[in-house]
Amino acid sequence: MASTLEIKNLRVKIEDKEILKGINLTLKEGEIHAIMGPNGSGKSTLAYTIMGHPKYEIIEGDILLNGESILEWTPDERARAGMFLGFQHPQSISGVTLSSLLRTAMIVRDEERRPPNIIKFTKELRALAKDLNMRTELTERYVNEGFSGGERKKNEVLQMLVLKPRFAFLDEPDSGLDVDALRDVAKGINRLHEETNAGIMLITHYQRILHYVQPTRLTILKDGLIVKTGGPELAEEIEKEGYESITGE
Ligand code: ADP
Ligand code: MG
């Protein structure tokens, strides 16, 4: 049976301010669901809430993974169940190399499996980095320390490709990228989709990335509510009409 993530009437507040005001959406394995919306509409809040960030308080609603509520699950348990968040603003981690971070993540996740062979792992990691047009030595540097904006974004995609999540929530993986980096990031996202049939929630402010990653569904969020949702044809409508005219921005 295909895996499904369902968000039901989700209302979320931060510091007594209601941010999400009743969101309903479903993400199935194999789907690429683009979530668009102006700044401040609640896109990051949605992504963080799905991953279980403690700062976001759920007032009402539920998040179900294959029919089971995950609201009581820690972010770690959600990650082990195959959920992955690509951050809008990836932080640096001093003293930890990307390569050791990812090996540890794999060991923790796959308790029953033997740790990946370090030589084979390093080789594969570098090949993936190269494919994203990243300098391969970055994998042996401290996570994101001294990385450019584009390198940080590619780094998120690299982590995703290594961890092979069943569901990836990518929060503006395209923001601040030049066209070459955008193509590389899009290639990484398409690669995960083709190789693993993951369900992908692609959060974006700009339609630009949708020229490279074809969404199966598109939802527009505004002020904590879904104002429009549709199939791939909605991407064409946005292309023609402009996204602001649809959202009334
Ligand atoms: P988006 O990702 O669509 O730009 P966000 O989810 O980041 O939107 O923010 C939605 C709203 O929540 C905004 O009004 C923002 O000011 C508010 N918000 C987000 N994070 C916090 C926070 N940590 N504390 C207070 N308000 C926040
Ligand atoms: Mg955001």
What confidence tens digit (pLDDT) does each residue in 130-165 have? 999 999 888 888 889 988 999 999 999 999 999 999
Per-residue pLDDT tens over the stretch 4-61: 999 999 999 999 999 999 999 999 999 999 999 999 999 999 999 999 999 999 999 9
pLDDT score, position 229: 95
Which pLDDT belongs to residue 2?
A: 84
Give the pLDDT of residue 215: 96
pLDDT of 97 higher than 70:
yes
Whether ligand 1 lies within 6 angstroms of the CB of 16 is answered as no
pTM, whole model, 2 decimals? 0.94
> Ligand 1 centroid vs 41 CA: distance in angstroms?
8
Ligand 1 mean position, distance from CA 50 (Å): 15
Q: Please tell me if the CB atom of residue 45 comes closer than 6 angstroms to any atom of ligand 1.
A: yes
Write down the pLDDT at residue 235. 80
CATH fold of the domain at 4-245: Rossmann fold (3.40.50)
**Ligand 1 contacts CB of residue 225 (under 6 A):** no
Confidence of residue 249 (pLDDT cuts 50, 70, 90): low
Question: Over the stretch 187-241, which tens digit does the pLDDT of each residue have?
Answer: 999 999 999 999 999 999 888 999 999 999 999 999 999 999 999 888 888 878 8
Q: Name which residue leads in pLDDT, 236 or 76.
A: 76
| SS3 annotation, the chain | CCCEEEEEEEEEEECCEEEEEEEEEEEECCCEEEEECCCCCCHHHHHHHHHCCCCCEEEEEEEEECCEECCCCCHHHHHHCCEEEECCCCCCEEEEEHHHHHHHHHHHHCCCCCCCCHHHHHHHHHHHHHHCCCCHHHHHCEECCCCCHHHHHHHHHHHHHHHCCCEEEEECCCCCCCHHHHHHHHHHHHHHHHHHCCEEEEEECCHHHHHCCCCCEEEEEECCEEEEEECCHHHHHHHHHCHHHHHCC
